[in-house]
A and B are shown apart, each in its own frame.
Chain A
Amino acid sequence: MGNIIEINDLCVNYRTQNQEKIYALRNLKLIIKKGETVAIVGESGCGKSTLAISLINLLPENAEVSGSIKIDGKEILDKNNKELQNVRGEKIGMIFQEPGASLNPIFSIKEQIEETIKFHKKISDKKILKDMSINLLREVGIKDAERIYESFPHQLSGGLQQRVMIAIALSLSPEILIADEPTTSLDVTVQAQIIELLNKLKKQRNLTTILITHDLHLALELSKRIIVIYAGEVVEDGYIKSEKDAEHPYTKALFEIIPDVIKKRKKFKIIKGELPDMKKIYERCNFSDRCNFVHEKCREISLELVRADKNYVRCLFPLKGRKK
């Protein structure tokens, strides 16, 4: 299978109002194959969402981008909004966190699904549009699709709103679905339903799915390949099923902080410390200040992403595989 997404040396900086730069993504390299499911995991502020919106070149005005993102071999970073119209929606469907905010409050669900189809496929027959929309709504597991079709966003629950967003994202049959924290604002049972739905859809439609989340647990539910991002860099990339597979200390730490109901751990575990200053680029391991396995050498040189045991890891002393 071919590569559907190739990201090379992607750097994204945000200029702040006082002319400082925040280095959100730093020389990011990533290859995603067609039909693959990938979860991108990391804590807040590490660059996950920047990566997601970079993929459809929708970065805010104060962002500076360099490097390359190729979708199906075609560069997208040098395209303008008009040229991107047949990538966004048609090639890549995207859903965001807080589905309520992603739907325009003053247009009905009908209008918001149909405008996309109308614009891209130039269909204007009302009957066809309605059938297509109702089918989409059914496909995302909405039972009384007819009623939801006529509703306005504020009349729906968060779970339903996210299903509608998924229906809209899939309305042009894209090959790639990017879900940026799709369940963050939803309650746990609805979270599980949405993940189950994404699982079903990616199989049915053979979608290349990219899940972006801070919740490692959720990532494991959907995806075999886990990409862990820390401070704008990929720190681990590989097939991870459980804590045992983690080769980077940060990934291990992420596993440790998942609350465990059965073990009745009294206290939430945290990863001590915080992200390094994103306004600076350090010549050292960015995680070294918070790492339990830190070594003097970690603070002396910057690291490359290299294979340890099975996974690619950005660490001098990975937990498995390569020895000093």
Chain B
Amino acid sequence: MKNYIIKRLLLIIPILLGITIITFSIIHLTPGGFTTVNLQMDIRTSPDSIARLKSLYGLDRPLHIQYLNWLKRFVFFDFGNSFLDGRPVLKKVAERLPATLLLNISALILEFFIAIIIGVTSALKRNSFYDKSMTVITFIGYSIPSFWLALILMLIFGVKLDLLPISGLKSVNFDFLSSGEKIIDILKHLVLPVFITAFGGLAYISRYVKTNMIETLSQQYIKASYAKGLSENIIIYKHALKNSLLPVITLLGLSLPGLIGGSFIFETIFAWPGMGRLAYESALNFDYPVIMGVVTMAAFLTLLGNLLADISYAFVDPRIRYR
């Protein structure tokens, strides 16, 4: 097991290299570029100052040299400074990460919790009215574009009913609130984004759980458990549920990167101070170090998520032992 983990961790290195090379090439191949967007639009900028800026950031060197320089710093976990405001990339990310994590972890917990309940109950009441209506509801959630739903709900709950705040993480008067009110304020801001994020993912996970549950219930060991005279609760919630939730671990592992990456559109609509917006803003401004930082971290966490999913498999399923 230990060897397996070490092997998998080492395997992350070449994959990460590949990902950074591709990302690096793509953002540098994109028409425009940092100097174009930020200086050349202005007719007052002299060609000389553009050249000076390029050499300052090393943008005049060949692409592979630029990449190697970036890589050299990356090895020491130095992602460089943002072109825009000169602040370290790590610091910028650290500022944005909590908001994204808060939103996505709450949404993920809610999503899996509800989806597993829906999946299990619809498997038990297969083809019933309940099952069919759950299918319809979850598929509506899956098909509705989240930005559209977000706007509609903002209109209803934020503007018309004036129940919930429509954007941001905190109210304007946040600093003047008592600590209890602060928590309530943040929770209020969380309701809409969390609900919309979770709603969209319900169909996928609940369907997955449902099919697994139905398949598990048809296994012979379930029949044998009935023959042992065990109660239905033990059979369903111990024997069937545990077996049918095994594959869900993969889904959980795969949703880890989403936790960190955030959603560009979504965070922009809600003016959510998260990673998605950071990536979006830096992409618009060709802020290369920030883009590279965000992408590399997301890629690393994706790979780590996969590894964690594989490892946790071995813990819950005794048939799996890695070498």
Contacts and interface: CB of A to CB of B under 8 A. Distances in A.
A106 B223 contact: no
Nearest to A58: B226
Interface in B203-261: 219-221, 223-232, 234, 238-239, 242-243, 246
Given A103-B221, A104-B243, A106-B242, A81 B318 contact: no
A106 B228 contact: no
B323 interface: no
B318 A152 contact: yes
B227 A98 contact: no
B316 interface: yes
A101 B232 contact: no
Interface residues of A, number: 34
B319 interface: yes
Nearest to A119: B230
A212 interface: no
Interface in B266-323: 316-319
Contact of A88 (B219, B226, B317, B318): B226
Given A82-B231, A90-B229, A154 B319 contact: yes
Interface in A38-83: 53, 56, 58, 81-82
B51 to A, nearest CB: 65
Interface residues of B, number: 23
Given A108-B318, A115-B234, A102 B229 contact: no
Contacts of A154: 318-319
Nearest to B224: A102
B316 A101 contact: no
A250 B103 CA distance: 72
A116 B242 CA distance: 18
Contacts of A172: 229
Contacts of B229: 84-90, 116, 119-120, 172
A313 interface: no
Contacts of B234: 115, 119
Contacts of A210: none
A85 B225 CA distance: 11
Interface of A: 53, 56, 58, 81-82, 84-90, 93-94, 96, 98, 101-108, 115-116, 119-120, 152, 154, 165, 168-169, 172
Ranked nearest first, the 4 interchain pairs of A and B with the lowest CB-CB distance are A89-B229, A88-B229, A101-B220, A102-B224
